[in-house]
Amino acid sequence: MVDVLVVGSGGREHAIGWKLSKSPKVGKVFFAPGNGGTKNNVPIQVDEIDKLADFAAKNSCFTVVGPEVPLSMGIVDKFNERNLGIFGPTRNAAQLESSKIWAKMFMKRNNIPTAPFEVFEDPALAKEYVKSQSYDVVIKADGLAAGKGVIVCGSKQDAFDAIDLILVKQSFGAAGKRIIVEERIDGVEASYIALSDGSIAIPMATSQDHKRIFDDDKGPNTGGMGAYSPTGVIDNNLAEKIQKDIINKTIESLRSEGITFKGFLYAGIMVRDGEPYVLEYNARMGDPECQPILIRMDSDLFDYLKSSADGELSKMPSISWKKQSAVCVVLASKGYPESYPKNDEITGLDMVDENHAVVFHAGTKLENNKVLTNGGRVLGVTALGDSLQGAIANAYSAAGLISWKNKYCRMDIGKKGLLYL
Ligand code: AMP
Ligand code: GLY
């Protein structure tokens, strides 16, 4: 048996640890720093890479990295140098996520389908370009901006404002030193996540996120207000196409450029007229997509993560999935994604048992045996069902048992998936 260290504190990390703890090969699961729902929390932050390595060495852990920040800082490179087992991409490989410009240039030179784009540092030139285009654009800060660096524009004026915000007011600091101006693609979005060992990539189940704060996809973007799996947006034919023309091509092209990508490769896909385009790559699992995906996974997650790290995925059978649907409803604090109150006491958690739904914690903390809110996205109530409708009903009936003063959730998670049944 091996002990595991899960790096991160969100719902994704709680779900990864929950699933790993079901493996007969896994002993203790530590979380750094974890949250109010995780046990064996270690008070080390995700960017304290040396301390994480010291902890993993001392406790002989296999480490699994959830979020992008430590990946982009080179946590995997550091662990490799020290011969410590770790799952995730190296810093070079994680550039797919940490530099949007790097990712776009990579896609362009390798013919991976994505929106046409140009890169700018000078606001005046960027505005000239916007004026000259016949289509609406999306403006993206180059670096990591906690999901806020992408502005989808509905008019030229929106685009000018976005350019000013990023390049003139420098609202995203160094992450916004350069921007991408790209064509806005109007279609249906879905998440395609695969697991790679650098040589091959095997698909995880498909899913769809709900990024906007309000029902019917209104309001500002968030980290994700809920997700379901599988999604009919990606049927078998489209999945095959994405796997071949996007995922496999990405892994092979990286390899031909000297980069071995081990880890979860997440392609944010826009489907327009049946054709998939990559909106963005992430070098990790999605949050909240991870929660409904892992609750459907029958295979042993540890075996797959270890095989990815060891470069031996080709020895593994394809992953087996429950036929059921799964839905994760994110319970947030009112005010998110802007400012929101903290320290509200959460009640009703003990009313939900795992046969009904699994409550993954995110922005929570445990104080004097009470669970308090401690973030914008607080809980991810995740349930299975024999149909998507059934999973939606199960997730919402469990979500209704939990309360706190400033609880907010979307009431339509999964609804857009019903269109594809
Ligand atoms: P990201 O933070 O990179 O996930 O982007 C945030 C959101 O912006 C995506 O989930 C899409 O909804 C939207 N988006 C990004 N690029 C485009 C594009 N070229 N066309 C339309 N929407 C886009
Ligand atoms: N849910 C989208 C993401 O994890 O980036």
Architecture of domain 2-90: 3-Layer(aba) Sandwich (3.40)
The Cα–Cα gap between 10 and 14 comes to: 6
Q: Which of 15, 5, 125 is nearest to 377 (CA)?
A: 15
**Span 300-328, average pLDDT:** 98
- pLDDT beyond 80 at 147: no
The strand ranges marked E within 238-290 are 262-272, 275-282
How much is the average pLDDT of 157-175?
93
Q: Three-state DSSP class for 258?
A: coil
Which ligand places an atom closest to the C-alpha of 380?
Answer: 2
Q: What pLDDT is stored for residue 229 in this prediction?
A: 98
pLDDT-derived band at 149 (thresholds 50, 70, 90) equals confident
Task: Give pLDDT, residue 280.
Answer: 95
Q: What is the pLDDT of residue 310?
A: 98
| Residues 178-212: tens digit of each pLDDT | 999 999 999 999 999 999 999 999 999 999 999 99
Tokens linked to 77: 């490179």
Return mean pLDDT, the chain.
97
CA-CA-CA-CA torsion for 127, 128, 130, 132, nearest 10 degrees?
170
Q: Whose CA is nearest to atom 4 of ligand 2?
A: 286
Fold category of 188-315 in CATH: D-amino Acid Aminotransferase; Chain A, domain 1 (3.30.470)
Whole-structure pTM value = 0.96
For the domain spanning 325-420, the CATH number is: 3.90.600.10
CB 378 within 8 A of CB 362: yes
pLDDT at residue 337 tops 90: yes
Per-residue pLDDT, 355: 92
Tell me the pLDDT band of 271, cut-offs 50, 70 and 90: very high
Q: What is the pLDDT of residue 145?
A: 80
User: What's phi and psi for 401, nearest 5 deg?
Assistant: -80, -15
Ligand whose nearest atom lies closest to the CA of 208? 2
Strand partners, 188: 271
Q: Is the CB of 344 under 6 A from ligand 1?
A: no
CATH superfamily of this structure's domain 122-177: ATP-grasp fold, A domain (3.30.1490.20)
Q: State in Å: Cα 165 to ligand 1 middle.
A: 17
